[in-house]
Amino acid sequence: MGETMSKRLKLHLGGEAEMEERAFTNPFPDYEAAASMAAAGAAEEPGCDRPPPTPDEFGLPFHNDGKIIPNFTRRIQTKIKDLLQQMEEGLKTADPHDCSAYTGWTGIALLYLQLYRVTCDQTYLLRSLDYVKRTLRNLNGRRVTFLCGDAGPLAVGAVVYHKLKSDCESQECITKLLQLQRTVVCRDSDLPDELLYGRAGYLYALLYLNTEIGPGTVCEAAIQEVVSAILESGKALSREERKAERCPLLYQWHRKQYVGAAHGMAGIFYVLMQPAAKVDQETLTEMVKPSVDYVRHRRFRSGNYPSSLSNETDRLVHWCHGAPGVIHMLMQAYKVFKEEKYLKDAMDCSDVIWQRGLLRKGYGVCHGTAGNGYSFLSLYHLTQDKKYLYRACKAWPVQFTFSPTSSYQRHHGFQRLNLALRRWIKRCKKTERPNWTKSHQIA
């Protein structure tokens, strides 16, 4: 926390040009090779009394049916416990004013909310409440998005209070969140449309509430108003740039037409394609789809994507810039338009991430290994292809084997642990009930 705006910008824009090698070489065989090694190992010495080797002895962290092996689950649980302790220690000296979900206290509240969700342990919900109360006392009115603005604390606060059955407080958060709407839809404002600081980031908060609390928590009219503002803004820039034919929805941030999830079109289209955003079919087909295709056509030969339409350097493989963010747009396009080409491109993204995604920058979701591993899990959920589960299992522990290049990056990464943990814990729960005794809980 305590990250200044200029530091954030520097990280997002890949300003660390001096860092020649951005990623560790992936030391693992890919799934097919690992699976054949496991099969060969399991087949040797027929009739031998020795118990057959377990999948993890051959580098496979799951059984044939996709269930995670207990050893691997235990390793993850132990690591989560260790990291939570380290995180709590780090928080003692953290910036008290950073209330964002992205790098601050709301992110911590979100983490404990998720721990409560998967363990049903009320201690975690109360811990989440402690953090969320702190953020709600510190709303600053500077930004409007889920990740970096007041919408994050308000949306997470509404969900935490709802789970505690404090409906009055929950409603108060929702009312305050909706009061931001006027600024968001104002046509004369210079608010961008991207996910981190712009309209799509506010829309995400509204959709989050309807998912977490229930449909209708935020009325359709409010969602429609924000969707219209985003569409109008995209059409206007497209016309201005004379790209209406090729890319009917065009967006920019700081005068640059970014491609990636954080500041670019991939993040905006991903949110617009959410069923809960209720964008009508004609708009999806006539406006969103050709614009998604326009982005697709800008991909590098490697399968990676540029940070902006004008950038031709195939360098960044981050959630914020590159394949690990664009993959989520492609997977959503596949779900909405049911065309194989989107899935094929998403799989190509996954190959790039597998080859170049073990980042030296840190553990975080935005530009760290966890964010890149997250893409494998998402693709596994979509395809049920164990190759992607394998890649995710390998990407996760490796980040604790290799050290990020500075203490700042280590610290930074811990703030963003929540999203990655979310999926992991879910998976552990599916395969083996976590044995999290009282001694594993945070006091």
Instruction: Point out which residues bind Zn ion (CB under 5 A).
Output: 320, 366-367
Q: Is 366 annotated as a binding residue?
A: yes
Distance CA 264, CA 298 (A): 13
Smaller CB separation from Zn ion, 125 or 262 = 262
- What one-character-per-residue DSSP string does 269-316 give? HHHHTSGGG---HHHIIIIIHHHHHHHHTT--TTS---SBTT------
DSSP state of 60: -
Select the residue whose beta carbon is closest to Zn ion and give its number: 320
C-beta of 8: minimal distance to Zn ion in Å? 8
Distance CA 38, CA 55 (A): 6
Smaller CB separation from Zn ion, 289 or 361 = 361
C-beta of 366: minimal distance to Zn ion in Å? 3
What does the block give as tokens for 289? 């789809």
C-beta of 353: minimal distance to Zn ion in Å? 14
Smaller CB separation from Zn ion, 155 or 320 = 320
Residue with tokens 């902006």: 308
Helix (H) or strand (E) holding 224: helix 220-240
C-beta of 320: minimal distance to Zn ion in Å? 3
Smaller CB separation from Zn ion, 74 or 315 = 315
Smaller CB separation from Zn ion, 249 or 366 = 366
- Other residues' Cβ atoms within 10 Å of the Cβ of residue 406: 12
Smaller CB separation from Zn ion, 72 or 305 = 305
- What one-character-per-residue DSSP string does 145-191 give? STTTSTHHHHHHHHHHHHHTT-HHHHHHHHHHHHHTHHHHH-TTS--
C-beta of 310: minimal distance to Zn ion in Å? 19
Q: Which residues contact 416 (CB under 8 A, 6 or more apart)?
A: 102, 103, 107, 363, 364, 365, 366, 368, 370, 371
Vertex 332 angle, CA 426 and 243, to 5°: 150
Query: Would you say the C-alpha torsion 203, 369, 393, 25 has a positive or negative sign?
Result: positive
Smaller CB separation from Zn ion, 148 or 230 = 148
Q: What type of residue is 95? A: D
Distance CA 222, CA 279 (A): 13
Residue with tokens 């989520």: 328
C-beta of 49: minimal distance to Zn ion in Å? 53
C-beta of 11: minimal distance to Zn ion in Å? 6
Distance of CA 27 to the CA centre of its chain: 25
Which residues sit in the known binding site? 320, 366-367
Residue ranges of the binding site for Zn(2+): 320, 366-367
